A and B are shown apart, each in its own frame.
Chain A
């Protein structure tokens, strides 16, 4: 897009803190699932939670940079999608870790690698959606995830296309992953219409700390 926008939806530091707690709860459950899958010690931590227009989530990535994206649509009381993004090298490392390979083994993705990455994306995005659904007592239906390893611009343009007509923003959770000693980072985007995003934030705001 040629026009750059600031986020329309703002959150207070209190809401941000509660969202970080929720993301950490989701990260804990996802790390347990990924540890079972990979037979390694997995730690996932939340570096930050922000709200941004989708076009401004990745300011440093060039359109031709190759990234791996796992896309998970969601419907129900709120409609949107989540997208987990890794750089190509990070995706290779995650494959090594998930499939019990020696670090540096994966140089191209096989069907098994793609399936493992897609499953990891489903676990990560799904954990957060489950926490959100349980906390807000709303129905969120996850759909079948899908994967793409391609130029960054191409991976995200269809999401931008979906959102052009409806004002939409992304809740961006920057995650750090540690599989034993190997570390990678990648963001998860939860893309929602502004109205749904405001509903989520309002509901999060009413949650008592520690609830």
Chain B
């Protein structure tokens, strides 16, 4: 199952969720290890004080995490003992003045802290694109980069 920019997906047990070619976007993987349920959000922009509700549900980091938790709750996650991993937030072009990648990473860290979700690992920043695969049964997140 592949998650496009601005979208989220949840899965359980043997499934894997992927996000391909992630640059400044931030991928947030949340895992309920005990119940083997997980979800992945592919957010485009940091948390906004004035979010545009007409945009895709996971455009902004905060709404992406909220949507992910909502969908995981439907599968039986009660919101405790959740672990998160972050991937992305690169700055692909040196000339790009707006530090969208960095802001996405900060926003995601803040949102996870606010929700009481433990951030256990991250592969963020730099100037390289990444592809992500999140296997729900093990909680393993694999990151691919171009060499």
Q: Are A and B bound to each other?
A: yes
Residues of A participating in the B interface, judged by any CB pair closer than 8 Å: 1-3, 62-64, 66, 69, 71-73, 143-158, 160-162, 164-165
Given contacts A151-B129, A153-B129, contact A73 B95 (CB under 8 A): yes
* Count of B interface residues, CB-CB < 8 Å: 34
Asked if A155 and B131 make an inter-chain contact with CB atoms under 8 angstroms apart, the answer reads no
Which residues does chain A contribute within 8 Å of B137, judged by CB atoms? none
Which residues does chain B contribute within 8 Å of A143, judged by CB atoms? 95
Asked if A2 and B92 make an inter-chain contact with CB atoms under 8 angstroms apart, the answer reads no
Residues of B participating in the A interface, judged by any CB pair closer than 8 Å: 4-7, 20-25, 44-45, 52, 55-56, 59, 90-98, 100-101, 127-131, 144, 146
Residue of B at shortest CB range from A62? B20
Tell me the minimal C-beta distance from A82 to chain B in angstroms: 11
Tell me the minimal C-beta distance from A81 to chain B in angstroms: 9
Given contacts A164-B45, A164-B59, A165-B45, contact A153 B23 (CB under 8 A): yes
Complex: A3 Cα to B59 Cα, angstroms:
12
Which residues does chain A contribute within 8 Å of B22, judged by CB atoms? 153-154, 157
- Among B22, B129, B130, the one with the most A-chain Cβ atoms within 10 Å of its Cβ is B129
Asked if A145 and B92 make an inter-chain contact with CB atoms under 8 angstroms apart, the answer reads no
Asked if A155 and B20 make an inter-chain contact with CB atoms under 8 angstroms apart, the answer reads no
What are the 5 tightest A-B residue pairs by CB atom distance, in nearest-first order? A153-B21, A154-B129, A63-B21, A154-B23, A146-B95
